[in-house]
Amino acid sequence: MSQERSNTAWYIGASREQVGQSAILVGDPARVARIAEHMSDVEFVAENRGLRTATGTRGGKRVTVSAFGMGAPIATIVMHELFALGIRTFLRIGTAMAVKPARLGDFVLADGALRQEGTSNTYAPLGFPAIADFELNTRLRERLARSDLTWHAGIFGTYDGFYTEMFGLSGERRAIIDGLKRDIERMGLIGTDMETSALLTAARILGARASTLCVATVDAFTQEKIADEAMAKAERELFEIALDAITAVPA
């Protein structure tokens, strides 16, 4: 039986009855349990291949949270499987590299993304734009505007090679991110990650809504990282905003 017709997802192991009306995609599997604390009536799916999934209730709606680990290939697999189970709205939340004017701890919302990863090419040719869903981003903007947070919206840059394109592992290797710096300066990117452009492209081709909202946790130029305490506080805010926004989108 094909994946599109299956009642149970191949990798994440969830059935149609175990998923909600919309989905939040996270990288860190431990984040699933933490966001579950912000919902009620939570059901955890048995973990498979390190992929964790849970579904809970927020504002009278069922929301699935699923972790993909890291990188565009597995992130789109998780999205595609949840789409096959009936979900049509997806929001990736997590972390991104900060680009001025965004500073560490600020929130960054993707209106679209530069496609510098390879996975999206399996869904659409390179000329196809990676654009976030307007309705979902409208709800996110409304919710962000009601907060006292500093946030920015714009174009992300998405790359496959973390240590070859985005982050110098040692001082001697920092020249490897020169290409990233040129992209930032030439195109005015507001943040960089490893998943957004693939998720936006795949969702558009599949016929789903998608966007990305992240906390800026690493400076793209200095490689300074956010403090653990600041990240923990920002993460709680991120969960609340994500859940409020995604449940406000019409099914």
Q: Which residues pair with 8 in a beta bridge?
A: 15
Cis check: omega of the bond before 250, within 30 degrees of 0: no
Give this prediction's pTM. 0.94
Superfamily for domain range 3-248:
Nucleoside phosphorylase domain (3.40.50.1580)
What b/e sequence results for 158-191 when a residue is b if at least 16 CB atoms lie within 10 Å of its CB, and e otherwise? bbbeeeebbbeeeeeeeebbeebeebbeeeebbb
Residuewise pLDDT in 10s, the chain (251 residues): 234 445 889 899 999 999 999 999 999 999 999 999 999 999 999 998 889 999 999 999 999 999 999 999 999 999 999 999 999 999 999 999 988 899 999 999 999 999 999 999 999 999 999 999 999 999 999 999 999 999 999 999 999 988 877 776 665 555 556 777 788 888 999 999 999 999 999 999 999 999 999 999 998 888 899 999 999 999 999 999 999 999 999 87
- Give residue 105's identity as a one-letter amino acid code: G
- Give residue 157's identity as a one-letter amino acid code: G
Cα–Cα separations (whole angstroms), residue 114 to 85, 195, 206: 28, 11, 19
Q: What's the rounded Cα separation, in Å, for the pair 45 and 54?
A: 6
Every domain of the chain and the residues it spans: 3-248
HSE toward the beta carbon, residue 90, CA cutoff 13 A: 34
Element counts in the chain: helices (H) and strands (E): 6, 10
Which two tokens mark 2?
Answer: 């094909």
